[in-house]
Chains A and B, each alone.
Chain A
Amino acid sequence: MKWDEFFVTGEPMIYAAMVSIVLVSVAIVAGLTYFKKWGYLWRNWLTTVDHKKIGVMYIIAALLMLFRGGVDALLMRAQTAVPENGLLDGQHYNEIFTTHGIIMILFMAMPFIIGLMNVVIPLQIGARDVAFPRLNAVSFWLFFFGAMLLNLSFVIGGSPDAGWSAYFPLASTEFSPTVGNNYYSLSLQIAGIGTLMTGINFLVTILKMRAPGMTLMKMPMFTWSILITSVIIIFAFPVLTVALALMMLDRQFGTQFFAMQNGGMDMLWANLFWVWGHPEVYIVILPAFGIYSEIIATFARKNLYGYKSMVISMVAISMLSFLVWVHHFYTMGHGVMVNSVFSITTMAIAIPTGVKIFNWLFTLRKGKITFSTPMLYALAFIPIFTIGGVTGVMLAMASADYQYHNTMFLVAHFHYVLIPGTVFAVIAGYHYWFPKVFGFRLNEKLGKWAFWFIAISFNVTFFPLFILGLNGMTRRMYTYSESTGFGPLNMLSMVGAVGLTIGFLLLVYNIYWSTRYAKRDTTGDPWDGRSLEWSTPSPVPEYNFAKTPVVTKLDAFWFSKKENTPLTDDGDYEPIHMPNNNGQPFIMGVAFFFFGFFMVFSWWIPAIIAGLVVLGTMAYRTFEQDHGHHISVEEIERTEKALRGEQS
C-alpha cells in the first residue's frame, strides 16, 4: 500500500481537517500537561465507573458528534442549494451523506440517549449505581472508540460511501473498493457490542435495583421507556452483529452472502439491516417519549394522563417494531402478499403512538403550564412529530410508496420524526436534568432563543423537502440541472440549515455563559419535580442516596413534598458499599480500536496481536479480585451537610 492510498489526498477540505485534527490533538496534550491534569483526567474520568460521570462523557461525545454530523449536513445543503454546484464532487458527497447518517443515528442520537439514561435512571429508581458498573464503563469505551474509528476513516483510507444503509451490491468490494465500508462494518460492530451491554445492564438495573416499594407500575415513565428500550436493544442488536460480520466476511474474506454470483443474494443484506434497523428507530424514539412524559407532567403540574395506557402502548410498540422491517424495501419486487402484510403491521404502529399523543394532550388539559425551555421543546414536538407520523402512514401504503420511495419526501419524513422526536427530546432532557448534574440551570433566555431558532429553522429546512420529493427529486443526488426547477426550494432549505446552525451554536454558548454567570441551585429541585432524582442534592454525591428512599406511590417525591412526609425512614446512616475505579475498560477500548483499525486494512498479524490484548484484558478481569470500598458514616454525614447546608 502506498502512502497516498493510506491518507486521503487531493481535497483541500480534507487537508484542512487533517491540520485541524493535529492542531487540536496537540493543543489537548499540551493543555493537559501544562495544567498538570493528566492524573485528574485518568483518576476521575477515564477510569470512572460512576454512572453519572459515564453519562456526562456520553453526552459530551454525543455533542461533539452532533457537530461533526451537523457540518456534514451543512455541506450537503450547501452543495444542493443551487443547481450544478461544484462545491463537492460526487464521491465526496457520497461520503458525506453516508457518515452524516451513521454518525447522527449511532454516534449522536443513541449515545445522547444512553448518556441521559445513565445519569437519570439510577437516580429515578432510588439506586446507588447500575447493576454492573464496570460493564457500564466497558460499554462507554467501546462506543467511544468505535466512534473514533469511524471518524478516522475520513482522513485515513477514505470514508464509507454507500449510504448509511450500505446496500449491496454497491457496498461490495467491486463497487466500493476503498476501505471505507470496512470501517463501517468494524466500527459499528465495536460500538454495537457496547450498546448491547448497555441494554443488558439497564434491563437488570431496572428489574432488580428499584427502591423498596417501587413496583413496576409505580416507576416514572422515563424509566419505563428505558426498560422497553433496553429490551429492544438486547434483541435487535444481535441481528446487526450478524449482518456486519457477514459484510466483513464478504468484503474481506471472499464469502458469497451478498454477492451477485455463486448463489449470493444482495437483498439479504437489506433484509438483515432493516430487521435491526427498524427496531433501532424505536430505540431512539421510545426514550424520547419517556423524556417528554416527564417534562410535560412536571411543567403542567399534573400527573401523567393514562399511565397504564402509556405503558401498554410502549409494550405494543416494542413488539410491533420487530414486525415491520420490510416496509423499507417495498420496491424490491416481492409479491403483493408480503407488501400487504408489512403494510398492515406498519400502519398498526400508528395506533399505540396515537394513544400516546392523546395522553400528552390530556395531561396538558387544565394544567398550570410553565413555559420553560424543556417544556417548549415538548410542546413543539407534539404537532411537528404528528406531521412526521402522518407522512409515515402515507409511506406505509406499499403501492403509494412506489411513488415516494427514495425521494426527498422520505428524507423529509424521517427528519420530521427523528428531529422533533429524538433531537428535541434529548435537548429538552439535557436542559431539564442539567441542574441535577452540575448544580445550576442553563440560562432560560438563551435557551428560549435557541429553541425558537431551532424549531422554526427546522421547518424551513425540511418542509420544502416534502414538496421537492413529490416533485420527483430523489435522495442522495449530488447535483441537478436548473431545468428541474428544484433550485429555489433547495435554497430555502439551505437558509433553514443556517438557522439550525445558529440555534445549535446558541445552545453551546449557553453552556459557557451559564457556567460563568448562572446562579447556583441549592435546593436540588429547581423545577419542582415529581420523581426521586429531585430528592437528591445537586450536584449528586457519588453514592446518590445517603439513605435508600422508600416508595409508596407513583410520583413519590411530589407527594412527599405536598403531604410533608419523609421519603426515608428515621434510621442512622450506614456505610455504603461502592465499586472501585479501574483502567481496564479504557485499555480494552484502546485495544479494540487498534484491533478494528488493523482489521480495516486487513493487516492480519497486528490485528491478531491487538485481538490477543483484548482477550488479555478479559483475562485480567476474570482473575482480579476487587471487592469495592465502603464510604464511612462520618464521610456521608460530612458530604450531606456540605451539600444540604443547614436544612438537614
Chain B
Amino acid sequence: MKQLFPVPHVIGFVSSLLLSLIALVVVKFDLTFASGMTILGVTALVQAGLQLFLFMHVNENEDKRSLMTNIAYALFVGLVTIFGTLFAMLWGYNMI
C-alpha cells in the first residue's frame, strides 16, 4: 500500500493545496492591486511548475530539450498574445 503513495507525489499534492490557500489571501485581506497580482502570479506559477515537473515528468523524457523549447515558445506566444492584446486594445488606446 505504501509504495502506491510515493512521498514526492504526496508532498506535491499537499503543497498545491497549500498554495491555493495562500492565494486566498488576496480575497481575505485588503491588499493593493499590485501586491495581490504578485501573490496570484507567484502561487499560480509555482503550482504550474509542480504539475509540470512532478506529475507530468517533463524531465524524464529523452527529448527534454525539445519539450522545454516547445513550452517556452508556447509561453512566448501566449504572453505576447495576452499582453500585446491588452497593450493594443486597452493600455495604448488612449495614450498620446
- The answer to whether A and B assemble together is yes
Please report A residues at the B interface, Cβ cutoff 8 Å: 207-208, 231, 235-236, 239, 265, 267-268, 271-272, 275, 319, 322-323, 325-326, 333-338, 341-342
Smallest CB-CB separation from A325: which chain B residue?
B84
Query: How far does the Cβ of A318 sit from chain B's closest Cβ, in whole Å?
Result: 9
Contact digits for B54-96, partner A, Cβ 8 Å, 1 yes 0 no: 0000000001001000000110110011001101110011111
State whether A207 and B63 are in contact (beta carbons under 8 Å apart), knowing that A275-B85, A337-B92, A338-B87 are contacts in the complex: yes
Give the interface residue-count category, chain B. 10 to 19
* Residues in B neighbouring A338, C-beta threshold 8 A: 87-88, 92-93, 95
Query: How far does the Cβ of A319 sit from chain B's closest Cβ, in whole Å?
Result: 7
* Residues in B neighbouring A231, C-beta threshold 8 A: 73
Alpha-carbon separation in the docked complex, A341 to B80 (Å): 13
* Residues in B neighbouring A319, C-beta threshold 8 A: 76
* Residues in A neighbouring B81, C-beta threshold 8 A: 239, 275, 322
- Is there an interface contact between A267 and B77, defined as CB atoms closer than 8 Å? no
State whether A334 and B73 are in contact (beta carbons under 8 Å apart), knowing that A239-B81, A323-B80 are contacts in the complex: no
Smallest CB-CB separation from A268: which chain B residue?
B89
Smallest CB-CB separation from B80: which chain A residue?
A322
Give the top 5 A-B pairs by smallest Cβ distance, nearest first. A335-B95, A338-B92, A235-B77, A337-B95, A335-B92
Alpha-carbon separation in the docked complex, A236 to B80 (Å): 12
Most A CB within 10 A of own CB, among B76, B80, B92, B93: B92
Most A CB within 10 A of own CB, among B66, B76, B93: B93
Query: How far does the Cβ of A208 sit from chain B's closest Cβ, in whole Å?
Result: 7
CB contact between A235 and one of B63, B74, B85 (< 8 Å): that residue: B74
Alpha-carbon separation in the docked complex, A235 to B74 (Å): 6
State whether A235 and B87 are in contact (beta carbons under 8 Å apart), knowing that A207-B63, A207-B66, A335-B96 are contacts in the complex: no
* Residues in B neighbouring A322, C-beta threshold 8 A: 76-77, 80-81
Smallest CB-CB separation from A265: which chain B residue?
B89
- Is there an interface contact between B84 and A336, defined as CB atoms closer than 8 Å? no
Query: How far does the Cβ of A72 sit from chain B's closest Cβ, in whole Å?
Result: 32
* Residues in B neighbouring A239, C-beta threshold 8 A: 81
Query: How far does the Cβ of B79 sit from chain A's closest Cβ, in whole Å?
Result: 10
- Is there an interface contact between A334 and B85, defined as CB atoms closer than 8 Å? no
State whether A336 and B77 are in contact (beta carbons under 8 Å apart), knowing that A208-B63, A271-B85, A275-B85 are contacts in the complex: no
* Residues in B neighbouring A236, C-beta threshold 8 A: 77
* Residues in A neighbouring B76, C-beta threshold 8 A: 319, 322
State whether A271 and B89 are in contact (beta carbons under 8 Å apart), knowing that A207-B66, A335-B96 are contacts in the complex: yes
